[in-house]
Amino acid sequence: MKNIKMKIARIERDMKQEDLAQVVGVTRQTIGLIEAGKYNPSLKLCIAICKALGKTLDELFWEETP
């Protein structure tokens, strides 16, 4: 599923996909694919994204689907 929360957090910080990619040390495509929900990033990358966007794992990557 698409990660809309991550996209919103990025836009709140006025960052392009490419900006975020550069900060966390991956390519623009990787960020785009994660936001599009096309895969399944590593924990390390998730944490790097959270720190770059000033959020926690739960805030960006946790879904309350019982």
Partner DNA sequence: AGTTCATGCAATATATATTTTACATAATGT
Partner DNA sequence: ACATTATGTAAAATATATATTGCATGAACT
What is the binding site for its own copies (CB under 8 A)?
40-44, 46-47, 56-58, 61-63
Q: Which is nearer to DNA, 37 or 54 (CB)?
A: 37
Binding-site size for DNA (CB under 7 A) equals 22
Q: CA torsion angle for 13, 47, 34, 28 (degrees, to 10)?
A: 60
Answer with the entry of its own copies, DNA, none that 47 interacts with (C-beta below 5 to 8 A by kind). Answer: its own copies
CA distances (Å), 13 to each of 1, 3, 64, 66, in order? 22, 16, 25, 31
Least separation in angstroms between residue 20's CB and DNA is: 8
Structure tokens at 57: 């794992």
